[in-house]
Structure 1
Amino acid sequence: MVEGNLIFQTSFYYEQSISSGSSLVISSSDSSDRGTLDFDFRGFWSRPTGKLCMVGSSYAYSKEGKLLQLAAVLKINNLRKSSTIKTLVTGTLDSLNSIGDPNHFERISLLMFPQLNYAYTMVSKQFSEGCPRGTNVQPMSSLRLSQTRTICDMLGGSNAFQLEYTGSCNSSKSCNPFGDGIGYLPSVITLSMIQCSNDRLSLRFLIEFRNDSYQGYYSSPNLNTSLIGEGSWDAKSNRLCIIACRIYDASSSLEKSHVGDCTTRLSLRFSAILSIRNTSTIVGEIWSVKPRNEAGFFDRVEFRNTGRYGGIQLPGLKYVFTEMDEVKKSCPKKNPRTRNSMGQYPDVYSGNLGFRMSIIKGSKGRIGWGSSDPLAVGDQQDQRFPFLIPSSSSKPKSSGVESNSSSGLLNISYKMSIMLPSSELDGGLNPFNESSNEYFQTEIQISAEGVYDTATGSLCMVGCRHLRSGDKTFSSHSMDCEILVKINFPPLNSDRRSKIKGSIESTREETDSLSFKPLQFSGRAYYRSWATESIWRMDFEMIMLVIFNTLAIIFVAFQIFHVRKHRGIGPLVSLLMLVILALGHLIPLVLNLEAMFIQDTERSILIRDGTWLEMKEVIIRVVTMVAFLLQVRLLMLSWTARCSTEKKKTFWIAEKRGLYVCVLV
């Protein structure tokens, strides 16, 4: 006999783009106001058959707000003490109320991947063979895992990767792991970890293939385009080998779902060397072990991680500059005498070189937006990766590529992403002449490397553009590397409204099919020194406001005490003056009322020492409110004294004259 709870979460979902530079947030909570649905069940579990049958009830509210009392029976199959990759726990939830009853609901089917006593039977049989039929890669080109980080730490949660096909690949030639039946060629693959083994060397994934670049949370995956896989880390070849299986009969009812056809293989490794053609820290491939002439076979597909934050930096990672000779040809050195001497420019290690392109202009005017972030900075001896998350303080080894830091010239590489309307992709931006739609945005990814001049704030780079056809991205072998990128940064002592300006040009002939018209872009500069000065200025202004309001409280308190002690002074106080002073305290309170009663997480800015900016605002509002209330109290005392005096007519005439003067002013 067992007891338990079954909790259904509300229909809330959150989606965010995995593309580098672009982001889209969608949220929905249609039933969040009705709360969660929590069933209390009691029943029996059969040890030999693995079946569970439970009966329970729950309370919920309908859309009209009526209280519903739900009674249900829960049946679960294949719930055993141990499980393998082919084990699926399925079940149904049926209403015990008859059809037509307000408390009746339709059948709900359930599916779960069991985690109790899981046996990695697939990888244990074939792990000695490594990754059969996988591409042989030299172990030195892949990073080994550190002692403090296991494969489960590196791939925990959900990981999204972009699929890359060969130039001749299309759905009709079976490049799709699911064939042509699903109606689209997947562009994104997500690996969501289900469970990690006790030794932290093997793990299970739910592998989902998607046709867009948006990753959803709190939403059920499409099992018809998903695989269930188990993998193990191969320390000899420094890669993860995964065996994946199909999930069948998951469209109509999850109760009939089962696992089969375990002929899909995946391998994943962490790049040891980054370059302009490979800026991804995680790369992998998918292939089928079936014969080419057998049904279900598909060609090899590569995948790599993208995104604004390119992953974790493992010890030994280094960037190799391969296009510096082309940079020297396209970016001539400036004469030191002609260099701008307006002031100091941002340092490459300061974190000020990443920015958002708020405006991108073409031949037709403003057409898009984007982002630009440095990937690797400096030579190999002290190379840094501001784009990645460091996991070790060890420095990469030197590799012959040097930067002339003594003259203020430093090697630097960038990852750029621009979003343009599909209707603007003419010429070389749309080399495949696909139909365009003005309502859709297309992402263009550019990796670039070049030289940054700290004396002039100018950056000149040679770029490579990833070629795309619709939602399909080609492999790194199909890239347009004849692009010139120029960026000019404003000085640190320039006006705060100064902008970063630059251009993206094609160096090909105009008759070339990949040539495109120049793009001009600009973005607001956000230097850390400016932020520090702004924080200091805000602190100073807040301190002065607190001091002034505190003095106002003290002075008004003395005035109230003086008016109450000397009754004849009250009528002589100008009511117009008191009203103006009271409004001076009231207006800031009305304009910033939400700072006292509403906790807006989007406006909460965490600054140094963990101090919340809104907390300082609340302190100022409280002091201002006390000053306002005391000012109103003084106004009431003067008003009462004015109304009780016999000379009030004379005083009111003086008030009108004062009002006339104030209106003119």
Structure 2
Amino acid sequence: MTSYSLEHGGALIPWMRVNQMRCTTDGGRTSAHNAVLFNDTRATERRRYYRRRRHSLVREEAVVADGHWDSDRRMLCFKACRVALPVPSSAPAVQEHGCGIRMSFWFPAVWTMRERSIVSGMLWNSTNAGSGLIHGVITASSIDDQISSTNLSDVKYSYNATVLGEARKHYLEISKGKKVTGSYSFPDFNCTVSDFAFRFDGLDIWSGEAYPVTIGSVMLASERLAADDAFFQHTVAVEDKEPGLLNVSYTIRYTAPPDNWVRPTNTLNYSVDYEKRKISAEGVYDPNRGILCMVGCKEHNGSTDCQTLVTVQFASLDSKAQGHGTGVISSLRDKTDRLFFEKVDFTSYGMYSSQVFEAVSRMDMESVLLLASTTLSCVFIILQILHTKRNLEAAAATSITMLTVVTMGYLAPLALNSEALFPSRRSQYYDFYYSTSRRLEMNEVMMRAPTLIAFVLQLRLLQLAWSGRRTSTVSERTVLWICLPLYALGGALAAIIHGINARAMSGDPSMISMGEGPATIWEDLVSYVGLVLDGFLLPQVILNAALGGSRARAISPWFYIGGTMVRVAPHVYDVVRAHLYKPSMYSSHLYASPRGDLFSMAWEVVIPCGAVLLALLLFMQQRLEGTASLPSQRRRSGGYEMVSNI
């Protein structure tokens, strides 16, 4: 079941799709039955349609075919009959309109730059009974030229010597004067196939992807693990040779604006219908310089232009730059030629396999850190609950505002289910490279359980403080009068700063959307809420100042010192991570996420210092209270006082 492009006399005609296939074996003879649809709609759109609806409900040309597998010629041979669609489900049989159509399909043993079909075929009329649908001999080529589950180990690739010579000439022009300096390394046979594939976008390209078909004599457009195994075995054949240029072939797919489209200059808001394009290219790759230079055929709107040059400069494997590098798609034709087009620059992005493994390992470590910090928070809350029960005055002197802020901090991840984002971020590494998403994800219940326990314990602590409040609520009102306007002002400033940054980004036409993109207003507000949680001791410090000498040691050192360390630790880790790990396209942000808190060089200093300062202030307030109340406690505990003899 796949889609085919049809060609007759050099012209492309409507697409064909094999909708159903059923095979049976009887006495060593294999019979096949299928249904074939013809339509002008592109194959990708037809594929999406049939995923939604498994049967045809549109009026279009179709045939049903019966045939057999010819083992000697390794071909599927069919006799087909036209049918009228749609066919009512209650119809007892398919009405035939003509059975003079013949079809044959086979598996090409040799691929070239122009022919990379997994399945090829031919359609023709044997009689006039099929006239009206098939005229003459029509060739068919499968569109899906890279199917991950297909074994192409017996397929050979034939390079075009003329194309390789042209690509080599352009490579020499590009590399002229570029000397290899330093110890930079680029993808070679010691890497995986995924290191040669990349995605890209640019100012005039919405999105695209490029994947290798062959490198040297190794066929890579096949099942991923088998391709990697063949790639590795090829190392033995070249390890003793002087490294040089490698022959390569690629398939490049991308979307771009229509030809002759001009980007508006007087407005930032515009829409354009991007068109899908494909380039089949061959050329050379220099593993010492990381330069890929290819000449290819660009398919667009039913025409093919084989005077297209594609050059890519791969980023070094140990480079700190994000992505795979930069590239250019340009025309080799004269500017007066009607097929000439202006060059298109693009930036490739993605991660090398070594970066993928490093990122996944780091995410595992960050998951452990996240679980450990949340578990420690549960321990600190339990110790505070015990402290409150042992000291009757502690509940009355505990800030309800502080406990509410901390409680909401545990409630928000549970209500918004933000932990569900963790495995999806991890799986994006494997979705792109190995198609084994969620293979290493940690159980979501394990990620969410400590937060849920901490939330329940925090509710218990809040209930104890509320029920133990015997004094007047005037002091708590003072805390609210100070904290609420302060929090509101901070939120307004965060929204204003987000608006300024968003306007600055939208005004720059060279901005390219890559990775996670700029933060939304919601994400910036969430980061501000993280700042409020970092300063969770502020309401308690204000309450202690309002109570004056009547305050008690309400907060356990485990709670305010341990809680401060839990909030400061992610900022310290982010500084360490920035120095130890190279940035990648999809950085791991499980434990210290910029989207869930404020993380930058300035805030990394301000937030820990502010949090530690609040903890010190609370420590001094409670220590001074204990010292000041000591004489009065001694007076109340003694029945007599010693009188001086003098």
TM-score per shorter chain, which class? 0.5 to 0.7
Of 453, 457, 470 in structure 2, the residue corresponding to residue 626 of structure 1 is 453
Q: Pick closer, same or farther for the CA change 1:404–1:227 going to 2, 3 Å.
A: farther
Of 181, 195, 211 in structure 1, the residue corresponding to residue 40 of structure 2 is 211
Instruction: Please list the CA deviations of residues 259-297 of structure 1 after superposition, one character each: whole Å capped at 9, or x if unmatched.
Output: 253211112111111111212221111111237998776
Instruction: Please list the CA deviations of residues 459-509 of structure 1 after superposition, one character each: whole Å capped at 9, or x if unmatched.
Output: 11111234643xxx6xxxxx5322211012222333363453211112122
Q: Do structure 1's residue 317 and structure 2's residue 164 form an aligned pair?
A: no
CA distance in 1, matches of 2:65, 2:425: 39
Correspondence for 1:413: 249
Of 291, 295, 301 in structure 2, the residue corresponding to residue 462 of structure 1 is 295
User: SS where residue 313 of structure 1 aligns?
Assistant: coil
CA distance in 2, matches of 1:386, 1:356: 16
CA distance in 1, matches of 2:440, 2:230: 37
Q: Pick closer, same or farther for the CA change 1:392–1:403 going to 2, 3 Å.
A: closer
User: SS where residue 484 of structure 1 aligns?
Assistant: strand
CA distance in 1, matches of 2:133, 2:475: 101
* Higher-helix-fraction structure: 2
Correspondence for 1:644: 470
Conservation of the 8 A alpha-carbon contact between 1:508 and 1:514 = yes
CA distance in 1, matches of 2:178, 2:322: 28
Conservation of the 8 A alpha-carbon contact between 1:500 and 1:525 = no
Correspondence for 2:7: 164
Instruction: Please list the CA deviations of residues 61-116 of structure 1 after superposition, one character each: whole Å capped at 9, or x if unmatched.
Output: xxxxxxxxxxxxxxxxxxxxxxxxxxxxxxxxxxxxxxxxxxxxxxxxxxxxxxxx
Map 1:18-97; keep pairs closer than 5 Å.
none
Instruction: Please list the CA deviations of residues 609-651 of structure 1 after superposition, one character each: whole Å capped at 9, or x if unmatched.
Output: 986677544323220121122123223223332x225x87678
State the 1:237 CA deviation. 2.3
Q: Pick closer, same or farther for the CA change 1:606–1:297 going to 2, 3 Å.
A: closer
Conservation of the 8 A alpha-carbon contact between 2:250 and 2:282 = yes
CA distance in 1, matches of 2:238, 2:386: 77
Of 91, 103, 107 in structure 2, the residue corresponding to residue 270 of structure 1 is 107
Instruction: Please list the CA deviations of residues 565-617 of structure 1 after superposition, one character each: whole Å capped at 9, or x if unmatched.
Output: 33244334444543444344334334435739xx9999976979986677544
Q: Pick closer, same or farther for the CA change 1:537–1:392 going to 2, 3 Å.
A: closer
Of 211, 217, 221 in structure 2, the residue corresponding to residue 373 of structure 1 is 211
Of 73, 95, 99 in structure 2, the residue corresponding to residue 258 of structure 1 is 95
Map 1:187-586; keep pairs closer than 5 Å.
187-198=15-26, 199=28, 201-213=30-42, 214-215=45-46, 216-217=49-50, 218-221=53-56, 225-247=61-83, 254=91, 257-290=94-127, 298-307=135-144, 309-310=146-147, 312-322=150-160, 323-332=163-172, 334=175, 338-339=179-180, 341=182, 343-347=184-188, 349-350=191-192, 351-359=194-202, 361=203, 366=204, 368-379=206-217, 383-387=218-222, 406-422=242-258, 424=260, 441-466=274-299, 468-469=301-302, 479-495=304-320, 497-498=322-323, 500-586=325-411
CA distance in 2, matches of 1:274, 1:489: 26
Conservation of the 8 A alpha-carbon contact between 2:153 and 2:219 = no
CA distance in 2, matches of 1:246, 1:623: 64
CA distance in 1, matches of 2:59, 2:481: 79
CA distance in 1, matches of 2:542, 2:247: 64
Conservation of the 8 A alpha-carbon contact between 2:360 and 2:426 = no
Q: What is the aligned length? A: 460
User: SS where residue 532 of structure 1 aligns?
Assistant: helix
Q: Pick closer, same or farther for the CA change 1:392–1:347 going to 2, 3 Å.
A: closer
Letter of the aligned partner of 1:205 in structure 2? N
Conservation of the 8 A alpha-carbon contact between 1:368 and 1:419 = yes
CA distance in 1, matches of 2:254, 2:438: 36
Q: Pick closer, same or farther for the CA change 1:386–1:258 going to 2, 3 Å.
A: closer
CA distance in 1, matches of 2:132, 2:477: 99
Letter of the aligned partner of 1:341 in structure 2? G
Instruction: Please list the CA deviations of residues 396-418 of structure 1 after superposition, one character each: whole Å capped at 9, or x if unmatched.
Output: 999xx999963253221101123
CA distance in 2, matches of 1:582, 1:592: 16
CA distance in 1, matches of 2:87, 2:438: 52
Identical pairs, percent:
27
State the 1:539 CA deviation. 1.4
Conservation of the 8 A alpha-carbon contact between 1:446 and 1:464 = yes
State the 1:245 CA deviation. 1.5
CA distance in 2, matches of 1:655, 1:257: 78
TM-score (norm 1): 0.60
Q: Pick closer, same or farther for the CA change 1:445–1:662 going to 2, 3 Å.
A: farther
Conservation of the 8 A alpha-carbon contact between 1:370 and 1:417 = yes
Conservation of the 8 A alpha-carbon contact between 1:595 and 1:614 = no
CA distance in 2, matches of 1:507, 1:209: 36
Letter of the aligned partner of 1:352 in structure 2? D
State the 1:423 CA deviation. 5.2
State the 1:425 CA deviation. 7.3
Conservation of the 8 A alpha-carbon contact between 2:147 and 2:221 = no
Conservation of the 8 A alpha-carbon contact between 2:205 and 2:346 = no
User: SS where residue 331 of structure 1 aligns?
Assistant: helix
CA distance in 1, matches of 2:250, 2:278: 11
Conservation of the 8 A alpha-carbon contact between 2:99 and 2:129 = no
User: SS where residue 195 of structure 2 aligns?
Assistant: coil
Q: Pick closer, same or farther for the CA change 1:557–1:408 going to 2, 3 Å.
A: farther
Q: Pick closer, same or farther for the CA change 1:606–1:423 going to 2, 3 Å.
A: closer
Conservation of the 8 A alpha-carbon contact between 2:276 and 2:300 = no
Q: RMSD of aligned C-alpha atoms?
A: 4.3
Q: Pick closer, same or farther for the CA change 1:220–1:444 going to 2, 3 Å.
A: same
CA distance in 2, matches of 1:651, 1:219: 65
Q: Pick closer, same or farther for the CA change 1:224–1:653 going to 2, 3 Å.
A: closer
CA distance in 2, matches of 1:652, 1:467: 70
Letter of the aligned partner of 2:31 in structure 1? S
State the 1:329 CA deviation. 1.8
TM-score (norm 2): 0.61
CA distance in 1, matches of 2:128, 2:107: 29
CA distance in 1, matches of 2:93, 2:314: 61
Instruction: Please list the CA deviations of residues 376-405 of structure 1 after superposition, one character each: whole Å capped at 9, or x if unmatched.
Output: 1223xxx1314556889997999xx99996
User: SS where residue 201 of structure 1 aligns?
Assistant: strand
Q: Pick closer, same or farther for the CA change 1:165–1:518 going to 2, 3 Å.
A: farther
User: SS where residue 332 of structure 1 aligns?
Assistant: helix
CA distance in 1, matches of 2:85, 2:440: 54
Instruction: Please list the CA deviations of residues 327-353 of structure 1 after superposition, one character each: whole Å capped at 9, or x if unmatched.
Output: 222221746971253733233551122
Structure 2 spans left out of the alignment, 5+ residues: 263-270, 483-537, 544-606, 611-646
Q: Pick closer, same or farther for the CA change 1:655–1:280 going to 2, 3 Å.
A: closer
CA distance in 1, matches of 2:130, 2:153: 43
Structure 1 spans left out of the alignment, 5+ residues: 1-157, 171-184, 427-437, 474-478
Conservation of the 8 A alpha-carbon contact between 2:212 and 2:248 = yes
